[in-house]
Amino acid sequence: EIRELCYTILSNLCKNCIKNKKLFRKKNGIELIINSLKDQNIGISPNYALYCQSVLDCLWNAVLGNRKNENIFLENEGLYVLMEFLETCGIFQRKIALSCISYLIENPKAINYFCDWNSSKTMINSTQLLIKLYEIEDSRFSVKYKEGILLDIDRPLNPKTRKFHSDSQSGPGSLLQSMPNRKSSKVSLGTSYLDQGEGGNQL
């Protein structure tokens, strides 16, 4: 799809390039990302999977890590749109969206937007949504508790990983193996790694 290719090109052009990030901002590229994330199909339709990744990849490389771009993203209710996207998107998009939100929250101006958000569908707030997603992950990986205490102290957040290596490719192991590799909170995003050395750059 042409839009997917365009976002991929823009993402690569802005990656680690302050000058191109500034040009992206001046040409209303940030507003374009926000409008794309508002598309109701982008996070749930399989046909939009690659397009969705290219949009999030562009968000990471062209907006995040640059304070002026982040501030414009926030002022145009970008965080609200991203939270709405997070609530409805699929599991793979969810991982990337969470990484973007985690990075954006490091901007002091983002805190008020994060605290003010309420879902337009369920009216839950940001904290409730994150707890809900955490519970979904607990259920997906069969995390067990007893009186509020994790039972598996060796792999408390991912006990089923042990079994995945011996599972067939059609089992849940194939799902985990197909996920991007993690290093700390960084997630591979196709054409880029969620790793920037420009955090807080001022233009």
| pLDDT tens by residue, 27-56 | 999 999 999 999 988 988 888 999 999 999
Helix (H) or strand (E) holding 84, with range, is helix 78-88
In the three-class reduction of DSSP (H, G, I as helix; E, B as strand; rest coil), residue 199 is classed as coil
Highest average pLDDT, of 144-148, 154-158, 171-175, comes from 144-148
Q: Collect all residues with Cβ–Cβ distance below 8 Å to 129 and sequence separation of at least 6.
A: 83, 86, 87, 119
| Whole-Å CA distances, 71 to 4, 22, 68, 104, 176 | 25, 13, 5, 10, 35
Higher per-residue confidence, 170 vs 131: 131
For residue 90, the one-letter residue type is G
Mean pLDDT of 104-112: 96
Q: Which helix (H) or strand (E) holds 182?
A: strand 182-183
pTM, two decimal places: 0.75
Q: Distance between CA atoms of 186 and 100, rounded to whole angstroms?
A: 10
Confidence of residue 161 (pLDDT cuts 50, 70, 90): low
